[in-house]
Amino acid sequence: MPSDTYRARVNALAVITSAAFFGANLFIGLSMGVYWLSLSPADFVAQFFPQFSNFLYTIMPLFLLMPVGLILSARLDWDSALARRNWVIALWFYLAVSLITIFFHMPLNVRLAAAIGSPVGDALDFYKSIALVGNVTEENAGTIRATWLLGHIPRVLITLATPVYVLRAMGARSA
């Protein structure tokens, strides 16, 4: 039987990483989104990937640690049907945001990286092959910016729901 200290730690990992991941996504969507919309499409293309690269140092550890907290917490509460249901929903949300990232945002990010000559654009050819758009040009840069930002809305909503279900799971176990 795991100790209460262990449970508290993995639950804290689940709630802190999921809430921080939501906050990071909200910041990117609102603060950076408003900023990117204030730029000309060409300036957006020039600035996006270097800024995105900086976000990655903050958001990637959260993204990688979140399933650790979710899975370990779910494992501890597997015998409680209501808690298990909430943990599983939180895990499905993590999977959904992962799929949106892998199949929607990463291909756009790689296209934007290639547009400024970043070696990332060449190194990640797989993402270019599944991108919804072709090469970024001056003519389509505004549309790509709007597509990226509109596609970010579900990420923000899903990442908001994740810590809600984490807290619900923790409450269900206590009840």
Specify the pLDDT at position 130: 83
- Alpha-carbon distance of 39 to 73, in angstroms, equals 43
Q: Element (H or E) spanning 54, and its range?
A: helix 41-76
Rounded to two decimals, the pTM is: 0.92
Residue 1 pLDDT level (bands cut at 50, 70, 90): low
Rg from Cα positions in the chain = 18
Specify the pLDDT at position 85: 98
For residue 25, CA distances in Å to 55, 103, 134 come to 10, 17, 25
CB 90 within 8 A of CB 69: no
Instruction: Match 């190194």 to its residue by tokens.
Output: 123
CB 72 within 8 A of CB 166: no
Q: What is the pLDDT of residues 65-99, one digit of tens each?
A: 999 999 999 999 999 999 999 999 999 999 999 99
